[in-house]
Amino acid sequence: MDARLQVYDEKMQKAYGFLESDFAAIRAGRANPHVLDKIKVDYYGTPTPIQQVGNITVPEARMIQIAPWEKSLIKDIEKAIMASDVGITPSNDGSVIRLVFPELTEERRKDLVKEVKKKGEDAKVAVRNIRRDGNDAFKKLAKEEVSEDEIKQLEEKLQKLTDKYVKEIESLVEAKSKEIMTV
């Protein structure tokens, strides 16, 4: 690949990668232990990430189980979860804490699909903006003794790259939407 196109390919790849990681955070009715990442537990006066005070597992598709390394921490972990924005009330049996995620309603699923499509559109806009920047840069090459044919070829190759990434984004959006709507 032409070095002048490589820069734009990398930028488009980053836009796609950002969308992928964004979609990973969207909960589709399944328990994802990453929803606990920001929660800190008061561990002997020190705010400590929940992952460092217990073992977190996903025994079922819609349940997270936390087994604290010290039984005395159960109340503190429950308090931290209640104070967070997870929106789920923990339950415990004296040795483990369980978080049961409710099934998503049809309306909530549709809202999530709209959100996914909007994020996909934003990613496509980002890719098209990268294409525009590339075309502007190629037009400036005309002043540097580069032939018009060569510039035309660069613009065509950049358009093919753009089409490729837009198509990948569309298939990613479609796959995530299907995942969300699957009950």
- Tokens 């931290």 belong to 80
Residues 109 and 22 in one domain: yes
Looking at residue 139, its pLDDT comes to 86
Looking at residue 165, its pLDDT comes to 95
Residues 42 and 130 in one domain: no
CA atoms within a 13 Å half-sphere pointing along the CA-CB vector of 13: 6
- Here the CATH number for the domain that contains residue 114 is 1.10.132.20
Model confidence pLDDT, tens digit, residues 119-170: 999 999 999 999 999 999 988 887 787 888 888 999 999 999 999 999 999 9
- Single out the residue in 69, 100, 131 at which a domain terminates: 100
* Through-space distance between the first and last CA atoms of the chain, rounded to whole angstroms: 43
Cα(25)–Cα(22) distance, integer angstroms: 6
Residues 13 and 77 in one domain: no
* Beta-strand relationship, 91-92 and 54-60: unpaired
Within the chain, strands assigned E span: 40-43, 46-49, 54-60, 63-68, 91-92, 97-100
Cβ atoms of residues 104 and 28 within 8 Å: yes
- Across-strand partners of 91? 98
Residues 80 and 138 in one domain: no
As for how many domains the chain has, the answer is 2
pTM: 0.68
Residues 120 and 164 in one domain: yes
CB atoms inside a 10 Å sphere around CB 66: 25
Model confidence pLDDT, tens digit, residues 24-64: 767 666 777 877 877 889 888 889 898 899 999 988 888 89
- Single out the residue in 100, 130, 157 at which a domain terminates: 100
- Here the CATH number for the domain that contains residue 94 is 3.30.1360.40
Task: Please name the residues in contact with 130: beta carbons below 8 A apart, sequence gap of 6 or more.
Answer: 8, 11, 12, 15, 162
Residues 38 and 22 in one domain: no
Cβ atoms of residues 78 and 46 within 8 Å: no
- Residue-number span of the structural domain to which 39 is assigned: 33-100
44: helix, strand or coil: coil
